[in-house]
Amino acid sequence: MLTTADKQLTDSVVENKKILLIDDDHELAELLTEYLAGENITVISCLDGVAGLAQAFDESIDLILLDVMMPKLNGFEVLKALGGNHKTPILMLTARGDDNDRILGLELGADDYLAKPFKHRELLARINAIFRRIAIVKESTNSSQSTLASLDGIAPVSTATMNNITVNQLTINHATREVLSHGHSLDLTGTEYLILLYMVEHHSKIISKAEISEQVLQRKLSLYDRTIDVHVGNIRRKILATTDVDKFKTVRGAGYVFLQGDMS
């Protein structure tokens, strides 16, 4: 459950944000630009994948809304060009009922998806969820850094001790968001990082997909939603590239466990 402090963050997380919409539907772009402006969100619209890809590297962009079917470059080609560790969160806009598009988008680095046609309030809720989890992580990171600053000069404090979590030869530095597996740095998307952090913090316990969705994605898990499965699969694959030991256990019908290992 969100704490009172976390809930207070939800009131202002979308204000003054900048969203890049990459979609060839000119009418939809106009409607969303007008609607989101009412929520103090600026929308930059690109009507094809080439123009969208060029704009996507702008560090002032807070979120990318990416359609699948577009001229010049489709959404999947844009994702491939951005790379799987692109740090700006990406919400894919897919055809309703097309599970293959959704799964492929997540495997290529998208953070979440929303099926067309959708209601404007549904889109805003999904945008809110993404910005909310980013705000919570930033708040936690800033608190960690403030604690270190306040202790500086008072006592010999180890930055590694304050910030690092090490379980089963995997180390997460929460302040820098760096993840090391057997000494190798992992390139994770923002959502993959948050899911892994949550799993490691709750290692040795069965964590349901519904819990991961609510606590990390900040939304309830819908029926037939495979978002968590794909994200965990991506994390698993990246860790297995550094070791032969699978650190995740799938408990059929229950969820996932991040194994404790030898805690080294």
Which residues are CB-neighbours of 172 under 8 A, at least 6 positions away? 164, 165, 166, 178, 179, 196, 197, 200
Question: Both tokens of residue 131?
Answer: 């910005």
Summarize pLDDT for 161-218 with one digit per residue, the tens.
Answer: 457 899 999 999 888 889 999 999 999 888 899 999 999 999 999 999 999 999 998 8
Q: What was the pLDDT predicted at 53?
A: 94
- Residue 16 binned pLDDT confidence (cut-offs 50, 70, 90): confident
Pairing label, strands 41-46, 170-173: unpaired
pTM: 0.78
Q: What was the pLDDT predicted at 159?
A: 38
The CA distance from 95 to 164, in Å, is 41
The CA distance from 140 to 110, in Å, is 24
User: Which stretch of 41-55, 75-89, 199-213, 223-237 has the lowest confidence by average pLDDT?
Assistant: 75-89
Question: What's the average model confidence in pLDDT over 42-50?
Answer: 95
Q: What was the pLDDT predicted at 87?
A: 78
Are 131 and 187 a contacting pair, CB within 8 Å? no
Residue 249 has pLDDT above 50, yes or no: yes
Q: What percent of the chain has pLDDT over 90?
A: 56
Cis peptide bond prior to 156, omega within 30° of 0: no
Summarize pLDDT for 114-172 with one digit per residue, the tens.
Answer: 988 899 999 999 999 888 887 776 665 555 455 444 445 454 433 344 578 999 999 99
